[in-house]
Amino acid sequence: MASTATLRARRSRAQLDAIARVEREIRASDPNGRRKYLVDFSAAFRSYDSVFESSKFPEWLQQADIILVGDYHALPASQRYAASLIRSLAGRSAPAPAASEPRELVIGLETVFSRDQHILDEWMAGEIGESELRERIRFDFDWGYPWEPFFEILTAAREHACAVYGLDCMPREDLRKIGARDRHAAIKIAEMRQVHPEALIMVLFGESHLAPNHLPRLLYERLRTDRVLTILQNVDALYWKAAGENRDRVDAVQVSDDVVCVFHTTPLEKYESYRLCLDRWTGEGTGHPDLGPTIYNLIDGLVRFLALDAYSPHNTTQPKFLVDSLPEVYCRSTDSVLRKLLARKGVEEDARKSLLKRFEKNGSVYLPHVNTFYISEFHMVHAAEEAARFLHHACRGLPLRANGKKNSCLPAEDRFYTRTLEHTLAYFGSRVLYPARAAVRESDLYALYDETREDIEQQTSLPFGEFLEVVDFMALHRGYELNPTRYRELPQQIERGMNWRGEKFDYITTHLGYMLGSDLYDAYLAGRVTRRFLKSIALAHLDAPGSSADVYFHLVAKARREKSLLSSR
């Protein structure tokens, strides 16, 4: 197994390249990054004691009287995590000493000024609606971050907490006064404790306020008997350090006895979210978020990872003028333009349904037929996958399909392996840019046999019998691809499956591709495949009959067979 430093470098390389460009843009627009107050936070959390197992989290939370949760305001996933924590705490609050009932849960929020407490109380009591609350607390003027994830916190709080308090005061825009805001918040939290002496208090505050010498110290001075626990989210230095751990993913680390940092997203996603906020604040938006720079940055991260030359004038060891092949990016809230694009290009029905389904599920899709990204909802993991999908098609030579019909004319075997390879490289690219993405293992495939008919029918529109056929095909193919020479001829079940159309074809190519992509990423981390090898795969042309099958089995030999040989020694 690779060393800690090697693992960290392999997991982090593409992200760090992509982050560098975003950070330059942010520094140009936001000069506050080197303020001492913010540097204090970064300096306080550079290392951790140990990986924190998720199973220990409930027990750790039970020790708390006050839970401070660090919020990265520009990242919706940060607020969604806080909302999920509220729901979780409400379900497990332990009884207070000498009490027979579960502890009350009380929430404190930096987002709302204390002066507006009466407005928050009116909303909690159901006297006013969402739009009036948003307007009266001047959310868009005084806060300016996305409303929907914050409202998810409020909704969870109204359902599960007995009270919600605003904790902040003016001026927010002046970092010279930020210490006064901390003192104000500490006093307000102490007042919450007086009103709710036995309650579990959860406070959501900007992460920089949670450096040990900031808000936590002030709380300790006022509430010495309360056990204060701090939950940080996605702290950069801790994330990069955890990338060297010898495990698929690290969900949390324990910084100290009273501080834990959870990871649910990547630094790249954090900074891309902040860049989008800066665009909106500077008035550069057009009503829709401008995700073009984000998509191009993801592509650039992969290009740098593979050492491709975006300016090469020939298509041999490099894609020809990749810089001229960058896709158009549509940001829309509906799929109406997407449907028109596909109809105008005459994309065949099966391909059209597949693309629309992927868009509906993931919020983004790359359309090779028109070299276009279409995005309704940004999720870094899915955008990274579609960026890798674009690069795969660009390396094969764009425009690949003028009307979307060429693929349907391929022999069944070529059509099958071409599509499966696309999913393989798209998944692999997403892991390079988003290492926290869950691995797709063969064990997950066999676990499908234990699913009930009801579970299967909820997860897919395939009839139960056809779904079992699909699982049988994938299980057989995973065995076949390791040792194809042991078979005199292609098994009939595999040959029949390669001729499937529609949802069955999409299912087998996607899941087999994801499994091989996961194997390939493991092989990359272990050093069994190099970036030079990956570059050669990216540039492989798949137009000749049998070429896609050759590339597929070449990948299997490197990613799976060599691993099997190593494990048998």
Summarised one tens digit per residue, pLDDT across range 73-117 is 999 999 999 999 999 998 755 444 444 467 899 999 999 999 999
Does residue 196 fall inside a structural domain? yes
Model-level pTM?
0.86
Residues composing the chain:
569
pLDDT at 301: 94
pLDDT at 475: 95
Collapse the DSSP code of 71 into the 3-class scheme (helix H, G, I; strand E, B; otherwise coil) and give the result: strand
Does residue 331 fall inside a structural domain? no
Does residue 88 fall inside a structural domain? yes
Pairwise CA distance, residues 536 & 34, whole Å:
42
pLDDT at 346: 79
Instruction: Tell me which of 230, 247, 265 is where a domain ends.
Output: 265
Does residue 436 fall inside a structural domain? yes
As averages over each run of 10 residues, the pLDDT of the chain (569 residues) reads 85 91 78 80 95 94 96 96 96 51 91 97 96 96 94 97 96 84 96 97 97 96 96 97 92 97 94 88 66 93 93 76 89 82 83 90 92 91 96 80 52 95 97 94 88 81 88 95 88 94 94 97 95 93 91 95 59
Does residue 372 fall inside a structural domain? no
Instruction: Tell me which of 242, 265, 288 is where a domain ends.
Output: 265
pLDDT at 433: 95
- Cβ 415 vs Cβ 408: under 8 Å: yes
pLDDT at 286: 52
Bond prior to 267 in cis (omega within 30° of 0): no
- Residue 393's Cβ-side half-sphere holds a number of Cα atoms within 13 Å equal to 24
pLDDT at 31: 66
Calculate helix-pair angle for 380-396, 292-305, nearest 10 degrees: 60
Q: What's the total number of domains in the chain?
A: 2
Does residue 377 fall inside a structural domain? no
Count of CB atoms situated within 10 Å of the CB of 203: 27
CATH number, domain at 184?
3.40.50.11550
Burial class (CB in 10 A: 0-12, 13-18, 19+), 36: exposed
Handedness of CA 290, 293, 295, 296 (dihedral sign): positive
Calculate helix-pair angle for 380-396, 349-362, nearest 10 degrees: 150
Does residue 361 fall inside a structural domain? no
Instruction: Tell me which of 214, 248, 265 is where a domain ends.
Output: 265
pLDDT at 449: 84
Calculate helix-pair angle for 412-433, 502-526, nearest 10 degrees: 50
pLDDT at 566: 52
Summarised one tens digit per residue, pLDDT across range 267-300 is 999 999 998 888 888 765 455 678 899 999 999 9
Does residue 487 fall inside a structural domain? yes
Find how far residue 32's CA is from the centre of its chain. 27
The residue range of the domain holding 221 is: 38-265
pLDDT at 448: 84
- Cβ 275 vs Cβ 74: under 8 Å: no
Question: What residues are paired with 254 via a beta bridge?
Answer: 50, 260
Q: What is the DSSP letter of 73?
A: T
- Cβ 181 vs Cβ 168: under 8 Å: yes
Helix, strand, coil percentages in the chain from 3-state DSSP, rounded to 5: 60, 10, 30
Average pLDDT, the chain: 89
Residue among 358, 298, 304 nearest 327 (CA)? 298
